[in-house]
Amino acid sequence: MRPHSERCPMSRRSPKSFAPEFKEQVLKMVESSDKPIPVIAEEFGISAKNIYNWRKRSDEKLTFRDKNEILEVKEENKRLKKKLAQLEEEQAILKKACAYFARSLP
């Protein structure tokens, strides 16, 4: 048996490097998809840990202005989703009202 200080050269894999374009493509997929990161990682044949690390590094590179812009867009998106839900509810009510009044006509 080998002493602990000696390591088998094949026991560790060298880290695989990915092109910046590939990382960007994966991160765009993560942002635009509802799929969980592990599923996306499997689709691309990479580790989910890679994606989490890339996303963290990408977030660290954002400037204060970029972060504010993203926050504003997220808030606007939230507001628009709420408005959409309200309009869909109103539309459903109007459809029911139309059907009710259409039945009561002679």
- Give me the tens of pLDDT residue by residue for the chain, a chain 106 residues long: 444 545 554 555 656 789 989 999 999 999 898 899 999 999 999 999 999 999 988 877 878 778 888 899 999 999 999 999 999 999 999 999 999 988 877 6
Query: Considering only CA atoms, which of 46, 21, 16 is closest in space to residue 38?
Result: 46
Answer yes or no: is 3 within a domain. no
Answer yes or no: is 39 within a domain. yes
Answer yes or no: is 34 within a domain. yes
Please report which residue ranges of the chain form alpha helices under DSSP H.
20-32, 37-44, 48-61, 64-104
Answer yes or no: is 79 within a domain. yes
Residue 50's SS3 state is helix
Q: Is the pTM of this model over 0.75?
A: no
Structural domain that includes position 70: 20-104
